[in-house]
Amino acid sequence: MHAIVHERLGLAGEVLEFRVVPEPGPPAEGEALVRVTFTPIHPGDLLAVEGSPAFGDLVSLANGARIPGFEGVGIVEALGSAVVTGSQVNVGDRVAFFPVSGAWSERVVAPMTSLVRLPDDVTDEQAAQMLINTITARLVLSTGHNALPPERKTSVTVIQTGASSAVGQLLTALLVANDVATIRLVRSEASASALAKRMPGPPIVSTENADWKDVLQREIDGRPIFTVFDGVGGVHLSEVASFLIEGGTIVNYGSLGGTGTDIRGIAPRSLVLRGVSIGEWKNDPPEQRRADMDTALGLVQNRPELFDDVARFEAADIAAAVAKMNLPGKSGAVLLSF
Ligand SMILES: NC(=O)c1ccc[n+]([C@@H]2O[C@H](COP(=O)([O-])OP(=O)(O)OC[C@H]3O[C@@H](n4cnc5c(N)ncnc54)[C@H](OP(=O)(O)O)[C@@H]3O)[C@@H](O)[C@H]2O)c1
């Protein structure tokens, strides 16, 4: 079978190759063999390939070639011996999967607990990108909620950075569904008007404009801001954090803006900087994980527009797919087809 592999850490455009690799072994008890149709490229996948600290621990290349990717969609081809027909997933079912290491392959062996059976009204392209981003948005939301002191858990107003990203939009959808007022920051006027069309609703402020802080202050309109949901980091974070009330929390889940965050304002104002990683999700109870998968499926079915901006590439064309990921102003999901 074919897969995307890398044998060393480095820029994805330089180290990723499409090549023949051995088929995975047969599924064991509690596992399924899935013929993959689409798998997304996430910014985090590229960070892992690069060996960036923004991914976390370095991925292991000890076994030679590593296959990236953790999420995708496909058809169940076989079940482990102890799994009988009539269980939640059967041979021939279309499924989304996460987490499964080595997802950028023609076939993967996935734990049954990582599978979501797909109804007919959900397309492969939507399903391929529904789990990681939605689950991240839910984790980010819960983290922010848990950080609120009891007296601040109602009439909440928050600031979001990187609001035009996929996770940013899903977070907005969850915030609005939970009656939280959010003010969305994006990096350019072009992004602001595109986002306003795609997802009308909460106010959007472009940090491109010299007066963005005045505009943000007007949008805040005297309400206390206890939480910033931040997917950007970088040089602007300290400025955004200055809008928090004393003791407030920055919930950071990404580094779209790169390095250079000045933390000197954190201590004097007793702010809390809290990171969130989807890697934590495996520690959640099975019922919570299944509820999160159901939430993802429900969002695709009820808000399909959040999953419909897609660019498809043949897996063999991995270089073009990576180039698309790195394009300034790139929007929507980049999917590899196998
Ligand atoms: N913590 C976790 O477990 C976890 C899980 C998933 C994702 N993430 C992180 O979450 C972030 C978003 O991921 P995603 O998949 O949603 O990204 P995405 O959909 O690929 O979003 C990229 C968009 O973000 C905007 N952007 C890029 N650089 C920016 C900057 N410096 N300032 C403001 N906006 C910027 C751009 O939109 P415009 O062109 O419209 O400006 C760009 O098109 C990434 O940092 C990713 O690594 C973390």
Give the pLDDT confidence of 244-257 residue by residue, as tens digits. Answer: 999 999 999 999 99
Atom of ligand 1 nearest to the CA of 133: 6
Query: Which amino acid type is present at position 144?
Result: G
How crowded is residue 265: how many other Cβ atoms within 10 Å of its Cβ? 14
Reported as a single tens digit per residue, the pLDDT across 309-321 is 999 999 999 999 9
What distance in angstroms lies between residue 192's CA and the mean position of ligand 1's atoms? 14
Looking at residue 275, its pLDDT comes to: 97
The binding-site residues of ligand 1, defined as CB within 6 angstroms of any ligand atom, are: 42-44, 132-133, 136, 162, 164-167, 186-188, 191, 231-232, 234, 253-257, 276-278, 329-331
Coil, strand, or helix at residue 322?
helix
Among 41, 45, 167, say which to mutate for ligand 1: greatest number of ligand atoms within 8 Å of CB: 167
Reported as a single tens digit per residue, the pLDDT across 161-190 is 999 999 999 999 999 999 999 999 999 999
Among 256, 261, 280, say which to mutate for ligand 1: greatest number of ligand atoms within 8 Å of CB: 256
Atom of ligand 1 nearest to the CA of 194: 40
pLDDT less than 50: residues of the chain: none
Burial of 333 (0-12, 13-18, 19+ CB in 10 A): buried
| Per-residue burial over 4-17, b = 16 or more CB atoms within 10 Å of its CB, e = otherwise | bbbeeeeebbeebe
Q: Whose CA is nearest to atom 40 of ligand 1?
A: 191
Looking at residue 321, its pLDDT comes to: 98
Among 131, 165, 209, say which to mutate for ligand 1: greatest number of ligand atoms within 8 Å of CB: 165
Looking at residue 64, its pLDDT comes to: 86
Looking at residue 84, its pLDDT comes to: 55
Looking at residue 55, its pLDDT comes to: 95
